[in-house]
Amino acid sequence: MWRRTILALLSLAVIAPAQQFNHIVILVQENRTPDNLFGWNPNFEPGVDIQTWGMSKTKRIDLQPIPLTECFDLPHSHHTFVSQYAKGAMNGFDVKPILGKDGCVPPPYPEYLYVDNSDGTIQPYFDIATGGGWANRFFQTNQGPSYPAHQFLISGTSAIADSSDVLVRENPFEGSRAAGCEAPVGSWVWTIDSTGASGKVYPCFTRDSLFNTLDAANLSWIYYSPNSQVTWNAPQSLEQYYQSPNNVLKPKQILTDIASCNLANVVWVIPSSYFSDHPGGSSTGPQWIASIMNAVFTNPTCPNGDEYWQDTAVLVTWDDWGGWFDHVVPPPTGSSCPAVYCTGFRVPLLVASAYTPPGYVSNTTLDFGSILRFVEENFSLPCLDSGEWADCTSPGLAEFFMGSKAKPRLIKSKPFPMDTDDTGDPDTD
C-alpha cells in the first residue's frame, strides 16, 4: 500500500522542471531483438551486449545469418513468450514458425538467426547506434505481440480502463484482425488479469494515454500510421481518440511535415508493411528510418526559429521481439502490470540528438515506459493515472542527453522511395 501511495503522490506533481527539446520523434519498427538484428557485428561498439549463440533445451545453437527479408514469420504470442522464457532459462525458443510464403523452407532452429548485413542493408542501424546512443537493457514492457505493445507505447499499460487490472494480451482475433473502436461487431481480443486468467473484450478502451496529458498542456502531437484498421494504430483503440485528426493515416506525411516546418512536439511514426522490419516484408525499413532522421537533422531553420537538429530527440525502437532469440533474461516488472504479463524480452533502442554522445552505451534497465517518462520529464508533464503505470515507474532517458551540443551525424542510406504503398499492415500482409 505504501508503494502505491508514494507513486500516486508522484503522479500529482510534474517530474522535471526543464525542457531540453521542442520535439520528440518516436520511430517504431517491428519484431526484432538485439541479438537477431545486430548479431552480424556483435562488437560494433565497445560495451554492447550481443550474443551469437543460444541454448535450445540443453543443446548449444550458433546463430546463423539470414536476410532481413526472410520468407517466414515466427509466433510471438504471450504463450510463445512463456515457452521461450522457460522460467528464466531462456532456452525454449525452438517453437517452429507457423507462417511462411509459398515454397518457403525455414532453416533448422529458425528462431536462432541474425540478420545478414554483408550487403549493407541494415548498416543504417549500426550507424545510428555508433553515432548516438545504444541501450543494452531495453525491454518491451509486455510479454506479447504488436497490438498490446503499441498500447504500452502510448500509455505505459494495455489496461482496458484506467481503474482496471485487465490488460489486453494478444493481437485481435485471427478471424477478423480488425482492431479499434470502429471494428465490426463481434471483434474481440484476448485479455489477461493479475491472476493470469484469460478473457475477451471488444478492442475499444476507456484509458488515459500520453495524448491526454499532451492535450492538457497544449502541446501538439501526431500519430502517423498506415490505416485505421491496422493492429499498430494505437489511438484507434481509444474511445476518446479514435476519431482524432491527430491520427494521420499516412506515415510518409512525416517527411512533408518536417520539410514544411510543421513537426509536432511529440510524434509516433508507424511504418506500413513496405518499410517495416517485419519478417517476410521488404528490406527498406533501415533506409526509411534513416530518411526520417536525416530529414530532421538537415532541415533548414524554420520561420519561427526552430532548428530541428538541435531541438529534436529521435528514438528508434522495435515493438516486440518477434519470436527471435535473445540471451538477456527480462527483469521483474516494476509497475502495476502483473508479473504474469510483464516484463517482456529485450528489443533495440537507438537514440539520436545534438546532445547524445557518439557511441554512448547504457546499461540501465529500461522499457517502453522509459520513452513515455522521457516525454513527461522533458515537457514537465504529470504521470498517467495513479502513477503505477510504466511511464512513472520506469527510469527515464536523461543519461542519453548529457553530451555537449554537436551537429548529429547523418546516416548514409539510399533515399527512401516515396512512390511506395503507404497503407499495408505489417502484421497481416
Residue 186 burial class via C-beta count within 10 angstroms: exposed 0-12, middle 13-18, buried 19 and up: exposed
d(CA 106, CA 74): 10
Residue 313, H or E segment = strand 312-318
pTM: 0.94
d(CA 52, CA 335): 31
pLDDT, position 429: 44
Whole-number Cα distances in Å, 148 to 154, 167, 320:
10, 8, 10
Contact 125/37 with Cβ under 8 angstroms? Answer: yes
d(CA 36, CA 347): 10
Least confident of 82-96, 122-136, 271-285, 396-410: 271-285
Domains defined for the chain, CATH in brackets: 2-54+115-156+209-401 (3.40.720.10)
pLDDT, position 3: 38
d(CA 233, CA 245): 13
Least confident of 106-120, 204-218, 267-281, 386-400: 267-281
Give the pLDDT band (50/70/90) at residue 422: low
Residue 170, H or E segment = strand 167-172
Contact 294/311 with Cβ under 8 angstroms? Answer: no
Provide, for the chain, the percentages of residues in helix, strand and coil under a 3-state DSSP scheme, each rounded to the nearest 5. Answer: 25, 20, 60
Q: In this structure, how many other beta carbons lie within 10 angstroms of the beta carbon of residue 88? A: 8
- E-strand stretches of 177-311: 189-192, 198-201, 221-224, 247-248, 266-269
Whole-number Cα distances in Å, 24 to 59, 111, 148, 228:
44, 33, 22, 23
Q: Report the candidate in 150, 133, 246 with the shortest Cα–Cα distance to residue 203.
A: 150
pLDDT at residue 232 tops 90: no
- E-strand stretches of 57-101: 59-62, 64-66, 72-73, 99-100
pLDDT, position 16: 40
Residue 151 has φ and ψ, to the nearest 5°, of -70, -40
What is the average pLDDT value for the chain, to the nearest integer? 90
In this prediction, residues 257-269 reach a mean pLDDT of: 97
Residue 332 burial class via C-beta count within 10 angstroms: exposed 0-12, middle 13-18, buried 19 and up: exposed
